[in-house]
Amino acid sequence: MVAPLPDMKPFVTTPSFMRRVDAATSWVASVYASPLWWRLAIAALAVAIGTSARVALASRFEGHFTFATLYPAVEIAAVLGGFYPGLFATFSGAFVTHLWFRPVETAAYPVGLSLFIASCTVLSIITEILHRTRLRLNESQEKREIAERLNIATRHLQIAVSAGAIGTWLLDLGKNAAIVNDEFRSIFGLAPDVDVNPDLVFRTILPNDVSRPREALRAALEPSGNGLYHAEYRIRRVTDGAIRWVSSRGQTAFENGKPVRVVGVARDVTDEKVAARAHQERAQLAEQLESVAATAPGVVFSFYIGDDSHIAYRYVSPKAKAVFGVAAEDICADARVFYRRVHVADHDHLNAALVESAHSLSHWDVEFRFDHPEKGAIWLEAQAAPVCEQDGKLVWHGYVSDVTERKRSDIALAETAARLQAMIDGAQDAVITMDSEGRIQSVNRAALSMFGYDAGELAACNITALLSDVATRPETKEANDLRALEAGVGHRWEVEARRRNGKVFPAEFSLSEARYDHRRILIGFVKDLSEQRKVQQRVEKLNRDRLDAMAGMAGRLAHEINQPLAATATYLKVARRLLERPPQEAGTNIVELIDKATIQTLRAGKIVNSLRQLVARGEPDKTLVSVHELILNTYDSMLADGANTDVQIRLERNASRDDVVADRAQLQQVLVSLMRNAIEAMQETEKQELIVSTSNPDDRTIRVDVTDTGGGLAGNVEEDFFEPFATTKEKGMGVGLSISRSIIEAHYGRIWAKPNPRGGAVFSFTLPLQNAEEEI
Ligand code: ADP
């Protein structure tokens, strides 16, 4: 508001005076506007008052001024009531005066009467004219105001129509033509120069919808109706063929009971319709989600991180009670009710995953343990997607389900798989799984070490990379075609295997199959035959060597056997000769001779038996043997067999590894031979100390030393002791060391003898440790 300037004087006429004048004239006008009988009554009242006043003042006027008090009465009646009440008051006043007072007493009376009637009639006419003039003035003022208001309203309407993109139309029913504005043309896609009529408009409406506006227009034109027209319909816009929704409203004007025109507005409401439909769909979706949340086995939730950096739940579905054992309302009221029950060990990874999800706007996907009030510890899995809302707040919408059963079976499955893997990995043979085309899927540890690969290197390789001729089976003589591989299921055949370093080795391959998850896998077992082959070759060589040795020693053997046989024959001959003598001459010598012959015969038998042992030995039966344990066992069994217990036997286990692959019985035979020889060698000596010591000269070998304090080695050539039948003992057979050497060499070891620096002898042998053998 702008305040008046200080030097400005307001208009002198007081507003209250003008208001009073206005109020008085308005009151006079309102009385004039009242019905005639009411105004005549006022006139009558005025005349009565004027007459009464005249009567009261009769003595004072003494026959003069007959109409003196009636003039004001007529003026009041004329001013308030106009012409007729004024005239009524004039004549009724003249009449009453005439009745009341003495008529025509003086000549002045008729003059006074005439003047009264004339002046009062003129006054009444003037007041009537004034009243009417005033009325006219008021009417034109009102009309101007109405026109002005109409003008303003029209301008407002135009602004509203253009701002609201409203098309206006006027349908002249007589001419069947419509006047429309530009917006109407743009809504319907009509060119500016096209004449618009109802048919043209109806042609733009889709056939399915056209009945609605037609029916609505027909109803609006019904004279008995209210003339209102409203229809919503889809049109195909003429300019671009776009489908749009239009809402049109109108009002029919009737003249003489007949519709003459309809005026209305039309709006493109496509966006509103789309929005309304989207809103409806959203509402439906929300409703569906609500019912899904109620029926889903898990809990649907929405949460955000509040200003206090704590989680706050916006929504938790009612299933919370069943899944968590905590009511949804309680969680919404205070999220700590839920988090207090999360396993302490899972807090960190739960929070870390949430921070990560907030940073990268990625899924929050976690598994954690939860203390259910009734069920105890359960496993929950939560998945949620963060959504950034308009105000920048991050809200996670997600789902939590109880995965305890799945988790338990996962753990059980993992344990079973781990056990199975351990079993497969523990196997000596290589186990390789592959598909029907030989693509390797998994291998065990033995396969990796057998072929010299690292874990993962064999993934997606083909089995032919390891076994070049894997599909060539001897019995089928089929070409090395992998399609034939499947036909080998259930068979076992020899193949050529190749290590990573290119070294080829013989192997035995057997194939079986398994099915899982509608898939078929082939499982190949590869046994490394190189060691077996070596042993075979060695044994064959040894056999050949033994045969050669036997051939070479046939003469010595004959000599060995001949000696006792010749002695036997001599003893028997002498005995016979003695028997031919008389009994007194023969004496007891005959018995002695026969005993000696028997001893010699038995000796010959022993020699033959030893020979059999040397020649007739079969395949070694190898197992994993602990050398230390075997030494102890050997010592125990020697004691049981009644060996010399005076000898102190000491075992020095210096070897950290003593596992060898050997034929237990054969190895024991070697130890027995060496220990018995040592004990026999110490029979004559004072100091009787036998030390069996072990050591690892390198990480692939174990060495056993049998050290005695006996008479020592006879002669210089130690090697001779290992030759068959080499003995220095009177009753010795000379085969123990020879057999021992065969055995040790068959085990890829070495045996030798050395003098003990402290007196006596040291017999030593070495053997490869387990695994080290393979590389030999
Ligand atoms: P035998 O014991 O029947 O003679 P062996 O083959 O066991 O046959 O031994 C061959 C020879 O080696 C023995 O005759 C002996 O001369 C010698 N010999 C073996 N062990 C010892 C030892 N501990 N001390 C000295 N000489 C030994």
Q: Note the pLDDT tens digit of each residue in 9-51.
A: 444 445 678 888 888 888 888 889 899 999 999 999 999 998 8
Q: Whose CA is nearest to atom 12 of ligand 1?
A: 721
Ligand 1 nearest atom to the CA of residue 740, by list position:
6
Q: Note the pLDDT tens digit of each residue in 155-181.
A: 877 777 777 678 999 999 999 999 999
Quick one: pLDDT at residue 309? 78
Q: Under a CB-based contact definition with an 8 Å cutoff, are residues 302 and 397 in contact?
A: yes
Pocket probe for ligand 1: among 677, 744, 751, the residue whose CB has the most ligand atoms within 8 Å is 677
Quick one: pLDDT at residue 3? 39
Q: In whole angstroms, give the CA distance from residue 751 to residue 738.
A: 10
Task: Report the separation in Å between the CA atom of 734 and the middle of ligand 1, taken as the mean of its atom positions.
Answer: 7
The verdict on the CB of residue 765 being under 6 Å from ligand 1 is no
| Token pair belonging to 631 | 């030494």
The verdict on the CB of residue 761 being under 6 Å from ligand 1 is yes
Q: Which of 72, 84, 75 is nearest to 34 (CA)?
A: 84
Quick one: pLDDT at residue 722? 83
Task: Report the separation in Å between the CA atom of 730 and the middle of ligand 1, taken as the mean of its atom positions.
Answer: 11
Q: Note the pLDDT tens digit of each residue in 320-330.
A: 998 999 999 99
Residue 479's alpha-carbon distances to 466, 574, 747, in angstroms, are 17, 78, 38
Q: Note the pLDDT tens digit of each residue in 384-397.
A: 999 988 777 889 99
Ligand 1 nearest atom to the CA of residue 674, by list position:
20
Confidence label for 7 from pLDDT (cuts 50, 70 and 90): very low
Question: Does pLDDT of 5 surpass 60?
Answer: no
Q: Which secondary structure element, helix H or strand E, spans residue 198, and what is its range?
A: helix 198-204
Confidence label for 379 from pLDDT (cuts 50, 70 and 90): very high
Residue 42's alpha-carbon distances to 26, 130, 385, 665, 712, in angstroms, are 17, 19, 90, 159, 177
Task: Report the separation in Å between the CA atom of 677 and the middle of ligand 1, taken as the mean of its atom positions.
Answer: 6
DSSP 612-623: HHHH------EE
Q: In whole angstroms, give the CA distance from residue 171 to residue 201.
A: 11
Q: Whose CA is nearest to atom 17 of ligand 1?
A: 721
Ligand 1 nearest atom to the CA of residue 739, by list position:
6
Q: Which secondary structure element, helix H or strand E, spans residue 290, and what is its range?
A: helix 270-295
Question: Does pLDDT of 776 surpass 80?
Answer: no
pTM of the entire structure?
Answer: 0.35
Residue with tokens 């029209």: 154
Question: Does pLDDT of 663 surpass 70?
Answer: yes
Task: Report the separation in Å between the CA atom of 332 and the middle of ligand 1, taken as the mean of its atom positions.
Answer: 95
The verdict on the CB of residue 685 being under 6 Å from ligand 1 is no
The verdict on the CB of residue 726 being under 6 Å from ligand 1 is yes
Q: Which of 232, 397, 205, 230 is nearest to 299 (CA)?
A: 397
The verdict on the CB of residue 213 being under 6 Å from ligand 1 is no
Of 624 and 773, the one with more pLDDT: 624
Task: Report the separation in Å between the CA atom of 732 and the middle of ligand 1, taken as the mean of its atom positions.
Answer: 8
550 burial via Cβ count (<10 Å: 0-12, 13-18, 19+):
middle
Question: Does pLDDT of 185 surpass 90?
Answer: yes
The verdict on the CB of residue 681 being under 6 Å from ligand 1 is yes
Of 481 and 363, the one with more pLDDT: 363
The verdict on the CB of residue 721 being under 6 Å from ligand 1 is yes
The answer to whether the Cα torsion of 662, 665, 667, 668 is positive or negative is: positive
The verdict on the CB of residue 444 being under 6 Å from ligand 1 is no
Of 287 and 218, the one with more pLDDT: 218
The verdict on the CB of residue 713 being under 6 Å from ligand 1 is yes
| Token pair belonging to 535 | 């042993």
Q: Whose CA is nearest to atom 27 of ligand 1?
A: 713
Task: Report the separation in Å between the CA atom of 748 and the middle of ligand 1, taken as the mean of its atom positions.
Answer: 23
Quick one: pLDDT at residue 128? 92
Q: Whose CA is nearest to atom 11 of ligand 1?
A: 727
Of 645 and 235, the one with more pLDDT: 235
Question: Does pLDDT of 775 surpass 80?
Answer: no
Task: Report the separation in Å between the CA atom of 728 and the middle of ligand 1, taken as the mean of its atom positions.
Answer: 7
Confidence label for 472 from pLDDT (cuts 50, 70 and 90): low
Mean pLDDT, rounded, of the chain? 83
The verdict on the CB of residue 728 being under 6 Å from ligand 1 is yes
Q: Under a CB-based contact definition with an 8 Å cutoff, are residues 190 and 200 in contact?
A: yes
Task: Report the separation in Å between the CA atom of 619 and the middle of ligand 1, taken as the mean of its atom positions.
Answer: 26
Q: Note the pLDDT tens digit of each residue in 78-114.
A: 999 999 999 999 999 888 877 776 555 667 778 888 8
Q: Are strands 689-698 and 648-653 parallel, antiparallel or unpaired?
A: parallel
Which residue type, as a one-letter code, is found at position 519? R
Task: Report the separation in Å between the CA atom of 264 and the middle of ligand 1, taken as the mean of its atom positions.
Answer: 136
Of 485 and 467, the one with more pLDDT: 467
Task: Report the separation in Å between the CA atom of 331 and the middle of ligand 1, taken as the mean of its atom positions.
Answer: 92
Q: Note the pLDDT tens digit of each residue in 358-370.
A: 899 899 999 999 9
Question: Across the strands, what pairs with 505?
Answer: 497
The verdict on the CB of residue 724 being under 6 Å from ligand 1 is no
